[in-house]
Structure 1
Amino acid sequence: MPKMIFVNLPVADLAAATRFYQAIGCQKNDQFSDDNAASMVWSEAINFHLLTHSFFQTFTALPIADAKAACGALYAISFDDRAAVDATASAGAAAGGTVEGLSVVDMGWMYNRQIQDPDGNVLELVWMDISAMPQDEAG
């Protein structure tokens, strides 16, 4: 099996969260989706698993964090160009996400926008041209 990452996110409204992740470019994998979960494929290696609160709670005894009140993680996903970052931010906002008041970073060689999904989880939409990165930033 190739190395993959599965980001499991608790969601209050599975249908709304599914619409949001489809709007930003994920494909729903019906094989791993049902009334409790939606498997949203970002790439061959990255999947977002959207889990209803009750189903999510079967995987942990810890309380579910309120992602709208505090940020526990930033999930960065890459794009081929700046235009795709902007288009994805717009599509996500139209599908129930929030971009207003969130960070936009434009360093010329790197462009990064943040969007919150309907549950408040923060996604960083990133484009980079490493070949254009100034040498003093390369470390």
Structure 2
Amino acid sequence: MTMTFINLPVRDLTTATEFYRAIGFTSDQTEPEGDSMVLTVSDTTRLVLHLRSGFEAYTGIATTDTATSREVIVGLSASSRGQVDELVDQAAVAGGEALGPGTVNGSMYMRGFRDLDGHQWSFIHMAG
């Protein structure tokens, strides 16, 4: 089985962890280990949050300024169009920024949001 690890720099581990828990991600960790926190997205996907300083030390370069640029958009599947909207709405209630209404492209329904640190995400439902 192939695992996916999404590593993101954040300003505050506690508030970032609370945000992601509000949209359904889970963690066995009750508090960060050093400058990182690991959350479970699915059986095969983990989100690893790092304080910016730790992320920069690991990569050897400065993090992207999410107010002026995008480095990546993370897309996650959802079981229905309703779940797409529910998850993005939960992200907005938790302090994220919903990026407008959902869009349809053939059998795909997608809706995006930005998290507390400006990282862009999309929830996607593929019909059929």
Give the TM-score taking structure 1 as reference length. 0.84
Identity over aligned pairs, percent? 29
* In structure 2, distance between residues paired with 1:38 and 1:111: 30
> SS at the partner of 1:39?
strand
**Which stretch of the first structure deviates more once superposed, 51-60 or 76-85?**
51-60
Alignment of 1:90-105 (within 5 A): 90-100=89-99, 102=100, 104-105=102-103
* 5+ residue gaps, structure 2: none
Matched residue type, 2:62 = P
- State the partner residue of 1:69: 68
Matched residue type, 1:65 = T
Deviation per residue, 1:93-115 (Å, 9 max, x gap) = 11111014x47312362110000
RMSD: 1.9
Deviation per residue, 1:38-60 (Å, 9 max, x gap) = 11110011111010112112211
The structure with the larger Rg is 1
Aligned partners of 2:113 and 2:121 also within 8 Å: yes
Aligned partners of 2:64 and 2:70 also within 8 Å: no
Matched residue type, 1:112 = M
Matched, 1:39 2:46: no
* In structure 1, distance between residues paired with 2:44 and 2:32: 18
Please list every run of at least 4 consecutive aligned residues from structure 1 whose deviation after the TM superposition is greater than 3 angstroms: none
Matched residue type, 2:46 = N
* In structure 2, distance between residues paired with 1:16 and 1:95: 10
Matched, 1:120 2:114: no
Give the TM-score taking structure 2 as reference length. 0.90
**Which stretch of the first structure deviates more once superposed, 8-17 or 107-116?**
107-116
* 5+ residue gaps, structure 1: 132-139
* In structure 1, distance between residues paired with 2:98 and 2:89: 8
> SS at the partner of 1:42?
strand
